Structure 1
Amino acid sequence: MDWFDENKSPKDKFFEIVYHANKNLVIEELEDVFKRLAALEIIAEECLGDEVDQKINEIVFTRSGDLEAVETDLYIHTMSNILTKNE
């Protein structure tokens, strides 16, 4: 498995790492991701109320490039955390 294969996207590399890394480390990191996601959901609901889903859909359809860049950063960050702890 080549973690530095330039032909693979960060998403592809992330899933390879998730499948092959220590299961406990992956669970720990994914729990952190979901905890952060839950906190962001609470913040979004407090700030936007019932308009949360509408705003999410707006971002998905009008800012796909920004969304993709943030997703890529999240894959890389999470992958980095798993690899760092796996050593």
Structure 2
Amino acid sequence: MSISLTPKEESFIETKLQTGKYHSVEEVLEIALKLLDEYDRSETEWVEEVCEKIDAAIEILEHTAPMDGETFVNQILDHFQQQRQVQK
């Protein structure tokens, strides 16, 4: 495989090599690819967690009596005011 790097990317890699922490371009790229893989897995896990939380919230809503908007907002405001008082 052959890849082309922008001057900025080449400079970045050269800077990393000059620190002495990395011994080759291949090592820098290997680490970068591992980090990209970790990032992708982390993002996937985050999306799955959010979907689970949404599903749980929907389940709760299906078993909760409806509430008008004004009551809902007032409850949120009361909750925040209570949290402020606890923090003081």
TM-score > 0.5 by shorter chain: no
Which structure dedicates a bigger proportion of its chain to helix?
1
Using structure 2 for the length normalisation, give the TM-score: 0.35
TM-score normalised by L of structure 1: 0.35
Structure with the greater relative contact order (CA < 8 A, sep ≥ 6): 1 or 2?
Answer: 1
